[in-house]
Amino acid sequence: MLSDISFKNYKKSEDIHGTILYPAIMVAPVQKNIISDLMRREDIQSVFDPFHGSGTALYEAAQLAHEIQIVGCDINPLANLITKVKLQGVDQNIREDILQLKDMLSSHGKKYNYTFPNMYKWLREDIVASLSRIRDAIIEISNEQNRLFFWYMLCDIIRKYSNTRSSTYKLHIKEIEKIQSIDNDVVKSYISAIDNNADKFKHNTWNFTLHKCDILDLLPKLNAASFDLSITSPPYGDNATTVPYGQFSMLALHTIDKKDLELEGWEFENYSIIDSKSLGGKKRNANLSPYQMSLLEPFLSKIAPAKHRKVLVFFEDYFKFLDGLCRVTKKYIALTLGNRTVDRVSINLTDITKQYLETKKFQKLVHATREIPIKRTPKVTSLVYEKPVSSMNHEFIMIYEKERFVA
């Protein structure tokens, strides 16, 4: 299995996964190979991704077997919209709706209110006016399937013309000179994006269910052994100090009509709320079992006590997630993991996960390491004790099979 996972020459720009930017996207051909290898090994009728993000694994599963049951979960409403658009694609009348959209853009009269907190910090005034034109036109598209595609294609345009730096996923203001030098080609860029990418969304599936919620709330509601294959890349730590998926998404979420988003009601309280509600993000005291603590002690002993709580809180949630995942998985678990660094100490998430899965009666099929050749995050991210700290430059593929006689 997995004879090649390097894919150093893979370019997202050549397929659907390159149509939108999202943090820490899994490498599509790697996920495709994992799924296809397991399908050749045994019948796979259902695939579950509990942190589906931009939908890479779910989309690849659907392309391999059109009749397969696809189920995903993500707490981020932008991830939910992105994955839904990839799976359901566009309607056969997409070109007619593109013509309608262009016509409305050429005869604009402001119709819908567009404002959100700190708007003019993150968007220049003339950029807001251009985005407002596009937003008004999208709202008028009656076909929901195509309308969601139009929102999807607007997300990268918003970030490209925003005042936030492109070198990080966090919202980080540019220098004033760079903000002033932005050429306002918003409408032109958007029209080009929808024209050039619509055909990539012609393939669709409707045999999917996406849950927009906290995975720890969903897992107890699912039946045992619900899914033949669970495949995902879980967070390596709390979002605020690893990958800020929520903060990255906020400008787009504030622009998209809320009627076209799956929302629980809390998502717009502040710019960091999605990250703080994600796995390990809630500030509290952790309560781990003696066995769980024994897995962490080799790392905690080297980390300053002041930084213990964020590690413990994340792992309390992570172990709950693994407990639930093992319960709902019938045959295989495939994880793409990374080892984060806290206080200059690399926490071996892969080994911790290995030991934990084995106590849940899952046995190893594959362990593989893949170098990450291109990263938005720099290889050295910060200084701790005046020494550089390296970011994650490798990812680890772990495939486990449930022991056959486990009830």
HEC secondary structure over 42-85: CCCCEEEECCCCCCHHHHHHHHHCCCCEEEEEECCHHHHHHHHH
Confidence at residue 119, expressed as pLDDT on a 0 to 100 scale: 98
Confidence at residue 4, expressed as pLDDT on a 0 to 100 scale: 61
Confidence of residue 388 (pLDDT cuts 50, 70, 90): very low
CA distance 137 to 104: 6
CA distance 127 to 184: 6
Range from 55-69, 96-110, 189-203, 213-227 carrying the lowest mean pLDDT = 96-110
Range from 23-27, 140-144, 217-221, 352-356 carrying the lowest mean pLDDT = 23-27
Cβ 122 vs Cβ 164: under 8 Å: yes
- How many angstroms separate the first and last alpha carbons of the chain? 27
Kindly report the pTM of this predicted structure. Answer: 0.93
Confidence at residue 39, expressed as pLDDT on a 0 to 100 scale: 96
Confidence at residue 54, expressed as pLDDT on a 0 to 100 scale: 98
- Listed residue (24, 25, 34, 41) closest to 2, CA to CA: 34
Q: What percent of the chain has pLDDT over 70?
A: 92
Cβ 137 vs Cβ 157: under 8 Å: no
Confidence at residue 214, expressed as pLDDT on a 0 to 100 scale: 98
Scanning the structure block, which residue is given the tokens 């695939």? 47
CA distance 398 to 23: 21
Confidence of residue 272 (pLDDT cuts 50, 70, 90): very high
* pLDDT at residue 52 tops 80: yes
Scanning the structure block, which residue is given the tokens 């991704």? 49
- H/E run at residue 159: helix 144-160
Confidence of residue 394 (pLDDT cuts 50, 70, 90): confident
Report pLDDT digits (tens) over 288-308.
Answer: 999 999 999 999 999 999 999
Rg of the chain over all Cα atoms, to the nearest angstrom: 22
Question: Helix or strand or coil: residue 245?
Answer: helix
Cβ 277 vs Cβ 313: under 8 Å: no
CA distance 65 to 46: 10
Report pLDDT digits (tens) over 303-329.
Answer: 999 999 999 999 999 999 999 999 999
Contacts of 112-115 with CB under 8 Å at 24 or more apart are: 112/136, 112/139, 112/257, 114/255
- Listed residue (114, 112, 138, 140) closest to 127, CA to CA: 114
Tokens of 140: 């008028």
Mean pLDDT of the chain: 92
Confidence at residue 65, expressed as pLDDT on a 0 to 100 scale: 94
- H/E run at residue 312: helix 308-328
CA distance 339 to 348: 5
* pLDDT at residue 406 tops 60: no
Distance set, CA 113 to CA 102, 107, 118, 139, 359 (Å): 20, 17, 15, 11, 54
Report pLDDT digits (tens) over 235-270.
Answer: 999 988 899 999 999 999 999 999 999 999 999 999
Q: What would the mean pLDDT of 226-232 be, rounded to a whole number?
A: 98
State CA 200 to chain mean position distance: 20
Confidence of residue 383 (pLDDT cuts 50, 70, 90): very low
- Listed residue (208, 193, 281) closest to 245, CA to CA: 281
* pLDDT at residue 381 tops 80: no
Confidence of residue 13 (pLDDT cuts 50, 70, 90): confident
Confidence at residue 378, expressed as pLDDT on a 0 to 100 scale: 46
Confidence of residue 35 (pLDDT cuts 50, 70, 90): very high
Confidence at residue 384, expressed as pLDDT on a 0 to 100 scale: 43
Confidence of residue 373 (pLDDT cuts 50, 70, 90): low
Confidence at residue 392, expressed as pLDDT on a 0 to 100 scale: 54
Confidence at residue 205, expressed as pLDDT on a 0 to 100 scale: 93
